[in-house]
């Protein structure tokens, strides 16, 4: 069973630039969620994709957008980067529809630094 993978591992961008982060979900999972984790904090929910459509969104501005592909992989795009966007971005996959729909399995994360 292949776990959740994310790329790249680390990324340094300049304020105002745009960034795309990628995630491959665990085999057999149909849902992908993205979280932002600032230093010393718990993960904050950005949004979730199910069947290629956004299935829920946290309190993040529209410059955070995403995609889910037919193979259930996903992208997180952030436009007009701000210094406060520096964080660990986590992707989690899950299988919606069963009794354990809230169980999510996380990738190793992408560390984004905005200078």
Partner 1 sequence: TQLLEQSPQFLSIQEGENLTVYCNSSSVFSSLQWYRQEPGEGPVLLVTVVTGGEVKKLKRLTFQFGDARKDSSLHITAAQPGDTGLYLCAGGDSNSGYALNFGKGTSLLVTP
In angstroms, give the least distance from the CB of 115 to partner 1.
19
In angstroms, give the least distance from the CB of 77 to partner 1.
19
By the criterion CB under 8 A, which residues form the site for partner 1?
4, 31, 33, 35, 40-45, 48, 50, 55-59, 88, 90, 92, 94, 96, 99-109, 111
φ, ψ of residue 84 to 5 degrees: the values are -70, -10
Looking at the Cβ atoms of 19 and 31, the one nearer to partner 1 is 31
- Are the beta carbons of 84 and 115 closer than 8 angstroms? no
In angstroms, give the least distance from the CB of 16 to partner 1.
27
Q: What is the dihedral of CA 38, 41, 42, 43, to 10 degrees?
A: -10
Q: Tell me the pairing of strands 5-7 and 19-24.
A: antiparallel
In angstroms, give the least distance from the CB of 62 to partner 1.
16
For residues 81 and 95, give the distance between their C-alpha atoms in angstroms, rounded to a whole number: 31
Looking at the Cβ atoms of 16 and 97, the one nearer to partner 1 is 97
């Amino acid at each position: 069973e292949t776990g959740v993978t994310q790329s790249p591992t680390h990324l340094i961008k300049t304020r105002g630039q745009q960034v795309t982060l990628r995630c491959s979900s665990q085999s057999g999972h149909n849902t992908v969620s993205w979280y932002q984790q600032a230093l010393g904090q718990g993960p904050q929910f950005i949004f979730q994709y199910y069947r290629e459509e956004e299935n829920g969104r946290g309190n993040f501005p529209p410059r955070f957008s995403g995609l889910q592909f037919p193979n259930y992989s996903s992208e997180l795009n952030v436009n007009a980067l701000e210094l406060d966007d520096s964080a660990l971005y986590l992707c989690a996959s899950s299988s919606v529809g069963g009794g354990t729909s809230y169980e999510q399995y996380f990738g190793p994360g992408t560390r984004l630094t905005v200078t």
